[in-house]
């Protein structure tokens, strides 16, 4: 490590579905945050840590900021995202090039008082260059003087430039994490997130929003890791949706999750999934705390 080592926290902020998790995974070169074509996939603050000889960049993937506060879980996610406005060394506001709207304008307004902000215009692979330029001009009106960087997190377009701009803003300082650590999350947390991702991907539109995953049992043996997890839903009708006919969907979800977990752990995995009902858990503070949604540790 040299004498001018830089370390800093970089908050990835934006409304739901702008590609924050995909961008973080691309920048650190590892899959740390789950992704799905569905708003509000991310529910916690998740750190993705990239360490080189010159810097340690601690990316913070945050839940999408949204106006829906009618349930306790929505309020929790908004708090988890908004807390990073003041805690981060740098804020990267992610915008979807095809879906810039009033909600994005509000977020740009909220960050206008902070000094270190980069505007990231994501998903440019989905539009022509001719369509991108007027969009950048429009955004510049709401973010005067800010660097606007067009990227495609999915295709890795222009990420080198974005990373250069990010690193230039990091303060000098010693690393906060060992150089081989890529996240602050435990394997229990990551396993639960992988299962939740597979629920999103298999069930798609049928997926009840009020669904969460809890790891009941996690035991590493010599050549095998045994994991038992519960998928919690709010109503009996939702339980049927998750299980599927003759258990077909739950079996598929378990198989896909096990494959990813085995790849991550580099060992054989025995995975058991159960589906249980806790009525109204997403709007009950005690249930939220029991499932790990706690303001005392929003990145739990």
| Domain end marker among 111, 137, 168 | 168
Run of H or E residues at 81: helix 72-82
235 and 113 in a common domain = no
In a domain, 300, yes or no: no
* pLDDT tens per residue, range 78-110: 565 566 677 889 999 999 999 998 989 988 988
128 and 38 in a common domain = yes
In a domain, 93, yes or no: yes
In this model, does residue 57 exceed pLDDT 60? yes
215 and 163 in a common domain = no
Report the pLDDT value the prediction gives residue 299, as an integer from 0 to 100: 38
User: In the structure encoding, which two tokens stand for residue 296, read together?
Assistant: 């005392």
In this model, does residue 19 exceed pLDDT 50? yes
How far apart, in Å, are the Cα atoms of 267 and each of 187, 192, 261, 264? 13, 17, 9, 8
* pLDDT tens per residue, range 208-225: 567 889 899 999 999 999
Decide: 283 and 71 in contact? Cβ < 8 Å: yes
113 and 147 in a common domain = yes
In a domain, 104, yes or no: yes
What is the rounded average pLDDT of the residues 183-202?
A: 87
| Domain end marker among 110, 138, 168 | 168
- Show contacts of 175-179: CB within 8 Å, 24+ apart: 175/1, 175/5, 175/7, 175/51, 175/56, 176/7, 176/56, 176/58, 177/49, 177/51, 177/56, 177/58, 179/51, 179/56
In this model, does residue 36 exceed pLDDT 60? no
Sign of CA dihedral 136, 64, 39, 165: positive
CATH code at position 23: 3.40.50.300
191 and 117 in a common domain = no
| Domain end marker among 135, 168, 201 | 168
What is the rounded average pLDDT of the residues 165-177?
A: 95
Output DSSP code: residue 125: G
CATH code at position 193: 3.30.300.20
Report the pLDDT value the prediction gives residue 255, as an integer from 0 to 100: 97
Q: Considering its fold, how many domains does the chain have in total?
A: 2
């Amino acid at each position: 490590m040299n004498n001018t080592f830089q370390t800093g926290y970089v908050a990835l902020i934006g409304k739901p579905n702008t590609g924050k998790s995909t961008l973080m995974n691309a920048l650190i070169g590892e899959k740390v945050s789950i992704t799905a074509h569905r708003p509000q996939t991310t529910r916690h603050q998740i750190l993705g840590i990239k360490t080189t000889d010159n810097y340690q960049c601690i990316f913070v993937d945050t839940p999408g900021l949204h106006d829906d506060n009618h349930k306790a879980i929505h309020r929790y996610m908004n708090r988890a995202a908004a807390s990073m406005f003041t805690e981060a060394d740098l804020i990267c506001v992610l915008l979807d090039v095809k879906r810039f709207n009033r909600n994005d304008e509000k977020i740009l307004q909220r960050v206008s008082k902070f000094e270190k902000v980069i505007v990231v215009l994501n998903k440019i692979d989905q539009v022509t260059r001719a369509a991108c330029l007027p969009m950048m001009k429009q955004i510049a009106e709401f973010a005067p003087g800010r660097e606007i960087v067009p990227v495609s997190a999915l295709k890795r377009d222009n990420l080198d430039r974005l990373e250069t701009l990010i690193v230039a803003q990091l303060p000098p300082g010693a690393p906060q994490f060992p150089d081989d650590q890529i996240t602050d999350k435990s394997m229990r947390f990551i396993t639960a997130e992988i299962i939740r991702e597979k629920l999103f991907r298999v069930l798609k539109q049928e997926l009840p929003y009020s669904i969460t995953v809890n790891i009941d049992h996690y035991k590493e043996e010599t050549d095998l890791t045994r994991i038992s997890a519960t998928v919690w839903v709010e109503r009996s009708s939702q339980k049927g949706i998750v299980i599927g006919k003759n258990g077909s969907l739950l079996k598929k979800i378990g198989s896909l999750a096990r494959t990813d977990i085995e790849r991550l752990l580099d060992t054989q995995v025995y995975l058991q999934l159960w589906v249980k009902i806790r009525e109204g858990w997403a709007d009950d503070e005690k249930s939220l705390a029991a499932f790990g949604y706690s303001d005392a540790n929003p990145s739990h």
